[in-house]
A and B are shown apart, each in its own frame.
Chain A
Amino acid sequence: MSASRFIPLDDCVYAYMNRANLPDAHRGRLWSIAFECAEEMNLDVFNSIKTRKLDVGPNMTARLPQGCKWTKIGVLNSNGEVATLKQNKNMTLYSALDTARLTLDQDANQGASTFLTQFPNFYYNFWYEGGLYNLFGIATGSNSAGEFTVDEENGVILLNNNFPNSYIIVEGIYPPDQSQEVLVPYECKPAIIKYIGWGDIEFLPQSRRKNIGETQSRRREYYNQRRLAKMRISPIQLWIGNDIYRESLLYAVKS
């Protein structure tokens, strides 16, 4: 078990069974419900972020790890940071899985025309009468260590054809893995218990155990606890406030 503030999901299941006075035979069913909650809260409340270093294949693609909802794709710089690549949604997904992708995804006859100009030039800033100019008021485009796009369905990260590195760093949110012990932050425990309580009766037919009012009140309790869990997980800290204050101080022309 992790030494941090993460607790096993089983703790929440047993806490609910204890409160609801349910025998141990309900554990399997309630655990499945709790797992659904952990999946949902992993997306909305806490994020189980993992960073992986992936090898880039000879066709300039990399396999997106199973279940990864990527948040950052880049390469390492000398400061120990991830220098992010630029997501280029114009990059084609055609031949994404092909080993000969680098020859298939381009058409040399077309040049490198963009939709803004018919001339065979890259569009760096502003094209005017045969030259490139930097103009005030026009975005300069961001500096990036390369370009990528992601074929989500096939789980492939596509890099630009002349991508210089042999690896990429992929940071992403991963769903809870049932082949290992599922751990959740303890701030979420009350919310998960409420979710199990709601899920326990949500789809049952009307009976002594379930009625519409009870179900609705359990649902409200869950959402309220989830709101509190969000606040508990990321409380406002002094240094964040200081940073916002300092970073917003600029030398600027007064209007």
Chain B
Amino acid sequence: MSQTRRQLIQIILANLSSGEPSQDFPITEDTVNLWLNGAIAAAAMKSYTDNAADGYDYISDGFYGRFTDLPLTLDNNSGLYNATLPQLPAGVPVGWDVSVAQIKHTDPDSLAVTLSLPLMRITRQRIGYYNRLPRPHNAVCFYFDNVLVSIDSPVVLNPAQDKLNVTCITAGETDMDSVLRIGEEQLGYITDYLRKNLMPEALTVPDTSDNGRNIPIR
């Protein structure tokens, strides 16, 4: 779908106002933009629960986007390499939020790029004890604290040559003219979600008696 955020937001606004929104319509494009990421995350979760109900975990690929070349920094205290995601992955079941993380290595001489095998995800409840249990030889592991990615690597990484690529559920940039990364089949749910949440605001009767000022005149 090559719709931009602005186009979708204008469709929603037209829908809420039953036509072209008037100048004093209480919902602005920015308001809808604020709700949009939440709506996309909710649609991803619904995609999961609908499929999981049949005993088959699945989330539409359309939700996934890739963040590339995230810089790594070495934390000398813990020995972990850290990277920061530009956006918090959606709170869907583990493994579906961040599907793939890979180290991208650029050879300093030939500039040839190689991608590692996917890193091993350490789930939240295993962080405490994964060091004490056997794990695959040479496995580079990673886990999350909010947007902070911590990478435990048995091989030394060079932050100048090694970057992190992450594929995760993302709603895309909040820039109005960025193209939305969602499948068209999700559009109905996202529109419904926004309409439901924005309707109380849309139904607010504009106060026309105080020339637009919110402060009551005494």
A145 within 8 A of B: no
With both chains docked as a complex, state the minimum distance between the C-beta of A2 and any C-beta of chain B, in angstroms.
Answer: 13
| Residue B126 is within 8 A (CB to CB) of chain A in the complex | yes
Q: Of B95, B99, B135, B141, which is within 8 A of A32 by CB?
A: B135
Cβ of A183 to closest chain B Cβ, rounded Å: 10
Judge whether B128 is part of the interface by a CB distance below 8 angstroms.
no
B121 at the interface (CB under 8 A from A): yes
What's the Cα separation between A190 and B95 when bound, in Å?
25
Chain B min CB distance to A9 (Å):
8
CB neighbours (8 Å) of A182 from chain B are: 136-137
Q: Which of B121, B130, B135, B141 contacts A178 (CB 8 A)?
A: B135
A28 interface residue per 8 A CB criterion: yes
Q: Is A186 an interface position by the 8 A CB rule? A: no
Complex contacts, A27 vs chain B, CB 8 Å: 120-121, 136
Total CB contacts across the A-B interface at under 8 A: 54
Contact A35 B134, beta carbon cutoff 8 Å: yes
Tell me whether A28 and B99 are in contact (CB under 8 A): no
Report whether A181 and B94 are in contact in the complex, using a CB–CB cutoff of 8 Å.
no
Contact yes or no, A24 B99, CB < 8 A = yes
A84 to chain B minimum Cβ distance, whole angstroms, is 33
Residue of B nearest to A178 (CB): B134
Q: Is A162 an interface residue (CB 8 A)?
A: no
- Residue in B130, B137, B138 whose Cβ sees the most chain A Cβ within 10 Å: B137
- Please, how many angstroms separate the alpha-carbon atoms of A21 and B130 in the complex? 23
Please name 18 further chain A to chain B contacts, defined as beta carbons within 8 Å, in addition to the given A23-B99, A182-B137, sorted by A numbering.
A21-B57, A23-B94, A23-B96, A24-B95, A24-B120, A25-B121, A27-B120, A28-B121, A28-B123, A28-B130, A28-B139, A35-B134, A178-B134, A178-B135, A178-B136, A181-B137, A181-B138, A182-B136
Chain B contact residues, CB within 8 Å of chain A: 55-57, 94-96, 99-100, 118, 120-123, 126, 130, 133-139, 141
